[in-house]
Each structure stands twice: as structure tokens, then as C-alpha cells.
Amino acid sequence: MKKYLILSKIMLLIALFTFASCSNDKAYPDISTMVDAVAGGTSPISAGQLMQKIDSGELILLIDVREPAEFNAGYIPGALNIPRGVLEFKIGRDAFWEAAMLYKPFKEDEIIVYCKKGKRSILAAESLQRLGYTNVKYLIGGWKKWELTYPSQYEKNLDQSAHEADADIGGC
């Protein structure tokens, strides 16, 4: 009987530890803490390094994860706009890539993501990695860093309306 009680207690502890270790739900007090926690598992790239890749003609997929109004106001040459809110849904869909007249990326292709200041792109890079993309980087400082470093190296969609300068779109 004593062996049975000890064995059942051990089994109960094992079950509790197994259940607790399977839970990946983490609560973060704010978005900055969440981004900081995720950033360690993602790879950054500087504006200078990105410019070298563009200048050398390297094959990269450059994805701007800002909202369309932000993108239309100015973007890095060669970037494709896939907003952060739909990135995971579009990245693997053949129909999306066919409509964009581009090849769907392979899991090992180099993908560089950027947003306004860098936080959304860190989360986007982490999501792409969870989907199995193995060569994902985010632009340090995002569009703002690019715009300050290379003020004449951008494109814009003149036929689209840009957001107001004081509008709070994405913000990070």
C-alpha cells in the first residue's frame, strides 16, 4: 500500500510538470516587453547591410509589413507590401504570389522584413520563423532608419493617398 501511494504521488508530479511544461502561453505586461522577449530569437540587419545586398543584386525578398497607406507614402525600392496583420495568411498562398506575379519563397530563401521603427518587423520575423522560414531578418530601426540613412533611396505610390503625418498608424 505504501508503495502504491508513493508511486501515485510520483505519477501525479510527473503529470503536473508535463502539463506545466507544455503550456507556452506567456503573458507580457506590455508590447515592448513582448518584442524584447522575441527579439533574441530573430536576426537583425542594418540599413547599410541591406543597401549592400540591394547594390550587389543579391536575391532577397524584401517585405514591408506596414499598412498600405504607410507603404504608399514611401518604401524601400523592391519591397513588397504584406501588412503584418495578414502576413502569416499570405506568405504561403500560391494564389497571392501568382497575383503579385512573383515566385512563392522557399523556406530557406532570404527574407528581410521591415516596418516603421522595427517592432512589428521583429514580430513578423518571429512568425515567419515559426512557419518554417529559416533565413529571416528584420531591419534595425525600420523605415525611419532607412529614410534617415538613405533619404534619396525610396519609392512611393503617387496614385495612392498617404496617411497624415500625425496619424497613429502602427506606431512602431
Does the annotation count 172 as an active-site position? no
C-alpha cell at 103: 515566385
Of the residues 61, 63, 79, 115, only one is catalytic, namely 115
Q: What is the pLDDT of residues 114-130, one digit of tens each?
A: 999 999 999 999 999 99
- pTM score of the predicted model: 0.77
Beta-carbon contacts of residue 78 (< 8 Å; ≥ 6 apart)? 54, 62
| Residue spans per domain, the chain | 31-149
Q: Which three cell numbers stand for residue 87?
A: 502576413
CATH number of 31-149: 3.40.250.10
Task: For residue 114, report the phi and psi dihedrals to the nearest 5 degrees.
Answer: -150, 160
Please choose, from the candidates 54, 63, 52, the residue with its C-alpha nearest in 3D space to the C-alpha of residue 86.
Answer: 63
Residue 7 is predicted with a pLDDT of 57
- What's residue 39's pLDDT? 86
Burial code (b: 16+ CB inside 10 Å, e: under 16) for 82-100 equals bbbeebeebbeeeeebeee
Indicate the pLDDT class of residue 86, thresholds 50, 70 and 90. very high
Note the pLDDT tens digit of each residue in 10-41: 655 565 455 444 545 678 898 888 888 888 88
**Contact of 97 with 104, CB cutoff 8 Å:** yes
The whole-angstrom separation of Cα 32 and Cα 38 is 10
Residue 166, pLDDT > 60, answer: no
Distance CA 46, CA 54 (A): 12
**Tens of pLDDT along 102-116?**
999 999 999 999 999
**Distance, CA of 72 to CA of 102 (rounded, Å):** 20
